[in-house]
A and B are shown apart, each in its own frame.
Chain A
Amino acid sequence: MDIDVIQTQIEEDLAKTTSVAALEEVRVKYLGRKGLVAELTSAISGLAVEQRGTVGKQVNALKNKLLELLTEKEKTLKPQSSVLKKNNLDLGMPGIAQELGHIHPITQIINEICSIFTRMGFSVVQGPEIETEYNNFTGLNIPLEHPSRDAFDTFYLKDYSKLLLRSHTSPVQVRVMKTQKPPLASVVPGRVYRPDAVDASHLFMFHQIEGFLVDEQVRFSDLKGILELFAQSVFGQDIKMRFRPHFFPFTEPSVEVDISCIICKGKGCSVCGKKGWLEILGAGMIHPNVFKHVGYAPNKYTGFAFGMGVERIAMLKYGINDIRLFFENDLRFLKQF
């Protein structure tokens, strides 16, 4: 066979080779004891003496060329083969490394939500947990002796008149607005307290995140846009949302926001109470009376505010069915997050 033909042929064969075993077959075909190169070599003795030298050199060159091609191909097939040491490590053994610690799921959700809003230009602010009756109620347009207060049962401090444990994060709105002028864009995470009987979905302490935006031309449509962006960031792009009219004393128009149930996708299941919708937050346009209380001109500024329970979001997101688990701090729970 012709030397040039052999060289093109091996290149074609190698191109088709995809495994180490197949490569070995190619090697045997050309360089084996009965391979094509061996055939050429043995044919040399049958040539005229003056030809033997040249042909011999050509065959040698071919052999070297083939070896080179085979080695190259081998490298592509087992790239590490020559880099790693051979050892007899039992890969079933556990790897050795320091244990990682875990950040509480509530903190993780707070960080996630705050970072969604900080990316939109909001800043994170905080306020005290012991609040005045004024900031918790009156300043937020919640009259002291009115049924609208029933939704905000509150722990009062003994021996400190008019001091209480904040029942929501909204008093921080009053604090921020009293000390700063618009434009404002803030989110407020923190602990809140309500004397609720304890069960799988109620506790006397939980976390809320409040957000508010105040400027000269803030509209209800902006609230819808921001909240949709938020919900899709937390729960995924496919969720549907609905905005239901509701009542909060400190916003008007007020809205409760539902997302399509993330468990049943809206078909109805035990998590959403067969409704197909999950309530995730309350919101609305800041009531002009709140602006009056903090000394803003109500006809100059508009704004929206929203508030959500962090535990609820975490429970939905992680599929946790009992709120008490968050505060039991069982390491078998904490280490899952």
Chain B
Amino acid sequence: MKVTYNWLKDFLNIKISPEVLAKELTMAGLEVVSLEEAQGDFIFEIEITSNRPDWLSVLGVAREVAAITKAKLKIADIQEPKIATQDILPARISILDQQGCSFYSLRVIRDVKVGPSPSWLKKRLELLGCRSVNNVVDITNYCLFALGHPLHAFDLDKLNLATLIVRRAKALEKITTIDNQQKLLSPEILVIADRDRPVAIAGVMGGKDTEVTFGTRNIALESAVFNPVLVRRGRQKLGLQSESAYRFERGVDLENAKNASLMAQKLICELAHGKPSGKKSLGASKPLSASVKLDVTYVNRVLGTKITTLQIKQILSRLGFIYKIQTKHILLVKSPTFRQDIKSSIDLVEEIARIYGYGEIPQTLPAVKPSRKVLDKQDVVFEIKNILSSLGLNEAITYSLVDRQLLARFEISNPSGLIEILNPLSKEQEILRPTLLPSLVRCLAYNLNQQQEYVNIFEVANIFLSNRQVTHEELSLGIALCGAKSSLVQQGLIKEEVTLLHLKGILERLFNKLGIPGYDFKNKGVGQISVVVGQQEVGTMLDLSNHVLAAFDIKNKQVILAQISLDKVFAFIDVQKKFLEISRYPAITRDISFIVQEDVSVKDLIRAIEEQGLPLLYLAKVVDYYQGKQIPAGFRGLTISCVYRAADRTLTEEELAPKHNFICALLEEKFGIKPR
């Protein structure tokens, strides 16, 4: 909202410069977002918080300036004019919707000469960014900005039977607004109607048919108090915005409604030669103002200050509150009518703090009572991110909302399980994603487009699932790898295309470090591997098909993905470490090099070795594998290293040989390995 320095000076003497005033207002909660010099005046643009509709006017800001600078407000009392009987023009009003309108008033002014506004009026409005229309409309706007109460002037002669009725719109009724938009109305919307048709959307905007034009002779000037919620609904429903609705939605003051009407009538008579010709009003006659009990010790208890009772009384007076002393510490505080926001003592505490100055409140440190620290999800997620980044992966963060098309590219389209957004701004915000992978693949594709040769990213985020109308968030880990990792080693540059084994390696390191026991990887289908922990599938690994890759414009590359449900894995995580005694006796290592048919699983071979080798076998692992010219088709070459060790003595060759030979023989017999 805008006010000008000179306009403020209509209401009080200001002894500080516009710059200082801007700072003072900001520190009192009326944030001045810009201060601009124009036409010999200064324009303050102020951000007014939604709890303070009383600040939405020059008068409102002037009241605050008075409170801050301890100046006195100058408000001229306007006398109600006498109306000669022969001047009276008939007009009728009625309120059919009491809930929608607590007060409705009309002033009839006859024989006005509608014309251009005087230049001082034009200038004041233009400085606030308001276009001049004609003197009558400009005066209603002037009063709106000066006092903050919206008014509307009708052309009395265009109102059928000079009647105005406050009622709900009927279904299918229409109105053309003063900005030339035709709007279809409905019963949620509060309107002002004459005998036949709606002539204004209550509190929002007037109708074209009854607006004041240069031909208007007699006017009906409306000043009313409309229900904030109804005005808001009507405005939202019709997609309209107006200075008037902005103020009604936030709440207006009955007292001010009366003052604004009187002020507008006076100006219309002065500037447009009108004659007061009658007034009507219905509804509440006296505004309610609440009294609040304020305990002075409560103020200091909440703020951590030592503000004296005297200081509190002075601040309250400066803000227009009236107080009675009940006991030593308790004041009964009555708000001025424009302070409908004051409902309880905490509201007064804020007012006292604002004027006392937030800067004057001391800084202290509270006695925080720490609670017991337990290992929780965040700690584990933090650990997971650390492990993955130490394995060289980069953390990505992608949007939880995705477009339908992205999922379709991933061949996900089950509409029943998807959670959709009711009010997306664009199609990128249609769906809460049921998987992290499409977003990660899109991110891979983006980086490949930026000439990255190797992309390795992960994300930890919720995925959103729904089961029989119950939504469910599942914290998940997504990993996406693509391209050839190049590294410089002693021998020079090596490039290595990522494969599922690289991803498996990452997950193994992760699970081991997190102390997850007995995890396993199982083939599920072409290019799909199930990751199993404790007999339960916790996630999958994927080698993305060319078909899907093409949809993401990824060519000649392999994309390797994994998604793990962390919520499922959490139960198995055990980060407690237990020290195992390190053997002081040397180990003996025996390698078995052999060829074996391709379909024999290494997992089975190792398991067989382990079963036979215990307790002397300490470790059996693949240390080399090869396929190529020397190996017959359908076979592969493997070297498994067996490490034997005893905890209490040095193993001897004699002791070990029969055991190891037995294992070799068993492998030959059971799996058909051929030693090389």
Contact surface of A with B, Cβ cutoff 8 Å: 94, 96, 98-104, 106-107, 111, 114, 120-124, 126, 128-130, 145-148, 150-151, 155-160, 163, 165, 183, 185, 191, 193, 195-197, 204-205, 213, 215, 217-222, 224-226, 228-229, 242-247, 249, 252-256, 285, 287-288, 302, 326-332, 334-335
Is B303 in contact with A220, judged by CB distance below 8 angstroms?
yes
| Contact in complex: A252, B347 (CB < 8 Å) | yes
Q: Are B421 and A156 touching (Cβ within 8 A)?
A: yes
A195 touches B364 (CB 8 A): no
Contacts of B394 in A (CB 8 A): 101-102, 104, 331, 334-335
Contact A332 B392 (CB under 8 A): no
Cβ distance B453 to chain A, nearest Cβ, rounded Å: 10
Contacting pair A221 B364 (CB below 8 A)? yes
Query: Is the CB of B398 closer than 8 A to any CB of chain A?
Result: yes
Output the nearest chain A residue to B388 by Cβ-Cβ distance.
A101
Is B576 at the interface (CB under 8 A from chain A)?
A: no
Known: A157-B422, A253-B353. A107 touches B429 (CB 8 A): no
Enumerate chain B residues within 8 angstroms of A205, measured Cβ to Cβ.
Answer: 399-401
CB distance from A312 to the nearest CB of B (A): 15
- What's the tally of chain B residues with a CB closer than 8 Å to chain A? 88
Judge if B369 is at the interface, Cβ distance under 8 Å.
Answer: yes
Shortest CB-to-CB span from A266 to chain B, Å, is 13
Give chain A nearest CB distance to B596 CB in angstroms.
Answer: 32
Contact between A101 and B391 (Cβ–Cβ < 8 Å)? yes
Which 10 pairs across A and B sit closest by C-beta, in order of nearness?
A: A221-B304, A245-B29, A219-B304, A247-B49, A101-B389, A121-B368, A121-B370, A222-B366, A253-B350, A329-B396
Instruction: Using CB atoms, name the residue of chain B closest to A258.
Output: B26
A151 to B50, CA, bound (A): 9
A139 to chain B, nearest CB (A): 17
> Which of chain A's residues have a CB closer than 8 A to the CB of B490?
96
Query: Is there contact, CB below 8 Å, between B363 and A331?
Result: no
Contact B366 A327 (CB under 8 A): no
Please state if A122 and B368 are interface contacts (CB–CB under 8 Å): yes
Bound: A147/B228 CA distance, A: 9
Say yes or no: is B545 at the interface (Cβ < 8 Å to chain A): no
Say whether, besides A224-B363, A243-B359, A106 and B425 are in contact (CB < 8 Å): no
- Least CB separation from B382: chain A residue: A111
Check B361 against A220 for contact (C-beta < 8 Å): yes
From B386, B429, B432, B471, A195 is in contact (CB under 8 Å) with B429
- In the complex the two chains form, is B29's CB within 8 Å of A244's CB? yes
B623 CB to closest chain A CB (Å) equals 20
Residue contacts A-B, CB under 8 angstroms, 17 given: A101-B392, A101-B394, A107-B385, A129-B464, A147-B232, A156-B422, A157-B421, A185-B371, A204-B425, A204-B429, A205-B400, A221-B361, A224-B363, A302-B302, A329-B398, A331-B447, A334-B395
- Interface contacts beyond A107-B397, A196-B425, A287-B346: sample of 14 additional A-B pairs, CB < 8 Å, sorted by A: A96-B489, A111-B382, A150-B50, A151-B50, A157-B420, A197-B425, A204-B401, A204-B425, A221-B304, A243-B358, A245-B358, A246-B31, A252-B349, A253-B302
If A130-B471, A222-B304 touch, whether A327 touches B399 (CB-CB below 8 Å) is yes
* Interchain CB contact under 8 A, B368 and A329: no
Q: What's the Cα separation between A101 and B387 when bound, in Å?
A: 9
Chain B residue contacts of A123, Cβ below 8 A: 370-371, 373
B422 touches A158 (CB 8 A): yes
- Stretch with Cβ within 8 A of A (4 or more), from B256-264, B454-462, B550-558, B633-641: B454-462
Contact present for A226 and B365 (CB under 8 Å): yes
Query: In this complex, what residue of A is CB-closest to B26?
Result: A244
Decide if B366 touches A155 in the complex (CB within 8 Å): no
- A147-B250, A247-B52 given; A225·B364 CB < 8 A: yes
- B-side contacts of A151, CB under 8 Å: 50
Q: How far is the CB of A124 from chain B (nearest CB, A)?
A: 5
For residue B358, which residues in chain A have a CB less than 8 angstroms away from its CB?
Answer: 224, 243-245, 253, 255
Q: Say whether, besides A98-B392, A101-B389, A329-B396, A221 and B362 are in contact (CB < 8 Å).
A: yes
B354 at the interface (CB under 8 A from A): yes
Task: Give chain B residues whose Cβ lies under 8 Å from the Cβ of A106.
Answer: 397
- B27 at the A interface (CB under 8 A): yes
Q: How far is the CB of A209 from chain B (nearest CB, A)?
A: 12
**Are A219 and B457 neighbours in the complex by a CB distance under 8 Å?**
no
Task: Tell me, yes or no, whether B469 is within 8 Å of chain A by CB.
Answer: yes
B400-433 contacts to A, CB under 8 A, are: 400-401, 419-425, 429, 432
Please indicate the chain A residues that have their CB under 8 angstroms from the CB of B390 in the complex.
100-101
Please give me the residue from chain A that is nearest to B352 by CB atom: A253
Q: Does B28 contact A (CB under 8 A)?
A: yes
Q: Are B344 and A221 in contact (CB under 8 A)?
A: no
- CB-CB under 8 A from B26, the residues of chain A are 244
Do A245 and B354 have beta carbons less than 8 Å apart? yes
- B488 contacts across to A, CB distance below 8 A: 94, 96
Alpha-carbon gap, A196 to B429, bound state (A): 11
Taking the complex as formed, is B17 at the interface, i.e. its CB lies under 8 A from any CB of chain A?
A: no
By a CB distance below 8 angstroms, the chain A residues around B28 are: 245
| Contact partners of A121 in chain B: CB under 8 A | 368-370
Q: CA separation between A103 and B385, bound complex, in Å?
A: 7
Instruction: Contact check, A228 vs B363: say whether CB atoms are below 8 A apart.
Output: yes
List B contacts of A287 (CB < 8 A): 346
Nearest residue, chain B, Cβ from A334: B394
A124: chain B residues within 8 A (beta carbon): 376, 378
Q: Quick check: is B285 within 8 A (CB to CB) of the other chain? A: no
B277-311 Cβ-contact flags toward A at 8 Å (1 or 0): 00000000000000000000000011111000000
- Which residue from chain A places its CB closest to the CB of B372 in the assembled complex? A123
Q: What chain B residues lie within 8 Å of A244 (beta carbons)? A: 26-27, 29, 31, 358
Which residues of the other chain, A, contact B362 by a CB distance below 8 angstroms?
221, 224
Per the bound structure, the CA–CA distance linking A205 and B359 in Å amounts to 34
Residues of B423-453 contacting chain A, CB below 8 A: 423-425, 429, 432, 443, 446-447, 450, 452
C-alpha spacing A107/B471, complex, angstroms? 26
Q: How far is the CB of B524 from chain A (nearest CB, A)?
A: 28
Contact of B401 among A193, A221, A256 (CB under 8 A): A193
In the complex, what residues of B have CB within 8 A of residue A107's CB?
Answer: 385, 395, 397
Residues of A within 8 A of B425 (CB): 195-197, 204
Least CB separation from A93: chain B residue: B488
A323 CB, min distance to chain B CBs, angstroms = 12
Residue of B49, B393, B400 with most partner-chain A CB within 10 A: B49
Q: Which residues of B contact A225 (CB under 8 A)?
A: 363-366
Return chain A residues, CB-CB under 8 Å to B464: 129-130
In the complex the two chains form, is A334's CB within 8 Å of B304's CB?
Answer: no
Which parts of B79-99 form the interface with A (CB within 8 Å)? none
Residue pair A220, B353 in contact (C-beta under 8 Å) = yes
> Which B residues from 448 to 489 make CB contacts under 8 A with A?
450, 452, 455-457, 461-462, 464, 469, 471, 473, 487-489
Are A145 and B469 touching (Cβ within 8 A)?
no
Which residues of A lie under 8 Å from residue B432 when comparing CB positions? Answer: 130, 157, 165
B392 touches A99 (CB 8 A): yes
Q: Which of B49, B389, B398, B471 contacts A100 (CB 8 A)?
A: B389
In the complex, whether B51 has a CB less than 8 A from a CB of chain A is: yes
- Residues on A with beta carbons closer than 8 Å to the beta carbon of B70: none
Chain A neighbourhood of B469, CB < 8 A? 159-160
Q: Tell me whether B222 is interfacial, beta carbon within 8 Å.
A: no
A97 CB to nearest B CB, Å: 9
Interfacial chain A residues near B614, Cβ < 8 Å: none
Set of chain A residues within 8 Å of B303, measured between Cβ atoms: 219-221, 253
Chain B window 501-539, contacts with chain A (Cβ cutoff 8 Å), 1 for yes, 0 for no: 000000000000000000000000000000000000000
Task: Say how far A166's CB is from chain B's closest CB, in angstroms.
Answer: 11
A102 to B386, CA, bound (A): 9
B547 interfacial by beta-carbon distance below 8 Å? no
Residue contact B429 to A129, C-beta cutoff 8 Å: no
* Residue with the greatest number of chain A CB neighbours at <10 A, chosen from B364, B386, B397: B397
Please give, as numbers and ranges, the residues of chain B lying within 8 Å of A329 by CB-CB distance: 396-398, 443, 446-447, 457
Distance in Å: Cβ of B142 to nearest Cβ of chain A:
24
B377 within 8 A of A: yes
Which residues of A have CB within 8 Å of B455? Answer: 331
Say which residue of A146, A156, A334 sits within 8 Å of B50 (CB atoms). Answer: A146
